């Protein structure tokens, strides 16, 4: 889960209580994904212009990369260890859904950046 919730990566090493670790993942993960979605929404509504939408695209690409690379490694390790229960598979399905959402963020931010550049060129003609 660390791949889809990078802010928790800083704090998780000091957590010994599973309830606190879950609470950190829940609170920081919600804030993290809200921020990703909010940036994409603002970019899609043309609030950032071309450069801001490009930065949002790069940020969303980093989020996708971190989510997929962190999750694939953990999934492979769980498969090798034989610890794939129904609940773990559901957890990975939800993580995959978040990664699909992040890919959608990349697409929307890229479209906003491209259409922003096109509209600037149309104005200067």
Residue 16 lies in a domain: no
pLDDT, tens digit, for every residue of 34-90? 888 888 888 877 777 778 888 888 888 888 888 888 888 888 888 888 888 888 888
Query: 69, exposed or middle or buried, with CB in 10 Å at 0-12, 13-18, 19+?
Result: exposed
Determine the structural domain holding residue 53 and report its residue range. 33-123
Q: Which pair of structure tokens corresponds to residue 120?
A: 């600037």
Whether 10 maps to a domain, the answer reads: no
Q: What is the DSSP secondary-structure string of 71-89?
A: HHHHHHHHHHHT---HHHH
Alpha-carbon distance of 78 to 74, in angstroms, equals 6
In a domain, residue 1? The reply is no
Question: Binning pLDDT at 50, 70 and 90, where does residue 119 land?
Answer: low
Mean predicted lDDT score pLDDT of the chain: 80
Statement: the pTM of the whole predicted model exceeds 0.75:
no
> Would 109 be classed as within a structural domain?
yes
Q: What is the mean pLDDT of residues 9-37?
A: 79
- Please count the structural domains in the chain: 1
pLDDT at 2: 61
Is there a domain that residue 114 lies in?
Answer: yes
Burial class (CB in 10 A: 0-12, 13-18, 19+), 25: buried
Q: Does residue 71 lie within any of the structural domains?
A: yes
4 domain residue, yes or no: no
Average pLDDT, integer, range 88-111: 86
Banded pLDDT at 28 (limits 50, 70, 90): confident
85: left (phi over 0), alpha (psi -120 to 50) or beta: beta
Q: Residue 118: inside a domain, yes or no? A: yes
pLDDT classification of 106: cutoffs 50, 70, 90: confident
């Amino acid at each position: 889960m660390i791949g889809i919730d990078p802010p928790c990566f800083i704090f998780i090493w000091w957590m010994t209580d599973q309830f606190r670790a879950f609470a950190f993942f829940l609170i920081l993960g919600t804030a993290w994904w809200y921020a990703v979605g909010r940036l994409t929404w603002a970019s899609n509504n043309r609030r950032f212009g071309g450069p801001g939408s490009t930065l949002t695209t790069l940020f969303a690409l980093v989020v996708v990369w971190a989510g997929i690379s962190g999750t694939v490694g953990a999934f492979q390790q769980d498969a090798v260890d034989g610890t794939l229960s129904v609940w773990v598979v559901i957890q990975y399905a939800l993580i995959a859904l978040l990664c699909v959402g992040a890919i959608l963020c990349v697409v929307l931010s890229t479209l906003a950046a491209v259409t922003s550049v096109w509209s600037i060129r149309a104005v200067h003609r």
